[in-house]
Structure 1
Amino acid sequence: MKLSAQSNILIESAIREAVNQFTGDEEQTIVTDIHLLPKQDSGEFCIFNDDEEELAKVIIEEWIDNDTEDFYQNIERFLRSILNKLKEEGIFEHLTLLKPYSVVLVDEEKETITDLLLMDDDTMLVNDELLKGLDEELDDFLKKLLEN
């Protein structure tokens, strides 16, 4: 799925708007997740907190009536790249949120699809590609260990 430059700007602006609500000199807020909800049928991109309070909302024209089955997979890659860009800019560094907190992709039932970004001082969220085959490797290691 290809998004226009205007849609890229809208999504990035919505994320900035949501995150900016957690800046300032206020006490630290306990929020464990910032939820990103793209709606395939209406084109809405909603961002909300743990209490389901809306932080930002925009309409992405390319998403309206998009009926592709890999919608969330495409959106995941796209949102992950935007979030990494914003993280490199440092917009997540000085928020009034207690760490760790995550930015998660959710579906219309508000079920978590995947963690897109984990902010913590000593934890790193790794890519699924890095973890492929890890279960088999650990099973083989344990089997060899127990045989000796």
Structure 2
Amino acid sequence: MNISEKTRAAISSSIREALCRYVSGDENSVVTDIHLMPKQDSGELLIFNDDDEELARTIIDEWVDCDSDNFITEVESVLRSEILVLSEQGYLEKLSLLKPYSFVLVDEDKETVAELMLIDDEDTLLLSDELLKGLDEELDAFLKDLLEK
């Protein structure tokens, strides 16, 4: 999905708006994950916390009535890259969220589709399909080997 700079700016602005309530000089005190819900039919991007409290909402013009069959997959990479930019700019270091916390992509039923980024004390871990590829098979082989001994 090719998106414009205007769209990238709108996404980044919405994420910043959602996180602004968690920016403080206090100790890490809030326990939550940040959920991002793109809606293909309306073009909305909703951002909320674990308590289903809406933190931000915007309409992404390029998503309105998007007819792509891979919409959620395409949006996943866009959202992940915008969160990565905010992380590289140091914006996520200013948050009073208790680590570890995650940015999670959810569908309209609020079911997790993908974990976009996990922020931990040690460092930032980006989750991707490539990283997790073959993990199930490796764990199954390891368990089988353990049980046979």
Whether TM exceeds 0.5 here: the answer is yes
Structure 2 gaps of 5+ residues are: none
104-113 or 133-142, larger mean C-alpha shift: 133-142
Q: Does 1:80 find its partner at 2:80? A: yes
Count of residue pairs the alignment pairs up: 148
Matched to 1:6, the amino acid is K
Structure 1 residues 99-138: aligned runs within 5 Å: 99-122=99-122, 124-138=125-139
How far apart are 1:139 and its partner, in Å? 3.7
1:68 alignment counterpart = 68
**Alignment root-mean-square deviation, CA:** 2.0
Structure 1 residues 31-46: aligned runs within 5 Å: 31-46=31-46
The structure-2 alpha-carbon separation of the partners of 1:24 and 1:69, relative to structure 1 and needing over 3 Å to count, comes to same
Structure 1 residues 134-145: aligned runs within 5 Å: 134-141=135-142, 143=144
How far apart are 1:20 and its partner, in Å? 1.7
Give the whole-Å Cα distance in 1 for the aligned partners of 2:147 and 2:98: 42
Q: Is the 8 A contact 2:47 2:57 kept in 1?
A: yes
Secondary structure at the residue paired with 2:97?
Answer: coil
120-129 or 106-115, larger mean C-alpha shift: 120-129
Structure 1 gaps of 5+ residues are: none
Secondary structure at the residue paired with 1:114?
Answer: strand
Normalised TM-score (structure 2): 0.87
How far apart are 1:28 and its partner, in Å? 3.7
Give the whole-Å Cα distance in 2 for the aligned partners of 1:53 and 1:18: 10
Matched to 1:128, the amino acid is D
The structure-2 alpha-carbon separation of the partners of 1:8 and 1:143, relative to structure 1 and needing over 3 Å to count, comes to same
2:94 alignment counterpart = 94
Matched to 1:111, the amino acid is E
Secondary structure at the residue paired with 2:86?
Answer: helix
Give the whole-Å Cα distance in 2 for the aligned partners of 1:54 and 1:145: 46
The structure-2 alpha-carbon separation of the partners of 1:142 and 1:83, relative to structure 1 and needing over 3 Å to count, comes to same
Deviations 1:72-131 (A, max 9, x none): 100111111111111111111121111111110011111111111111113735422122
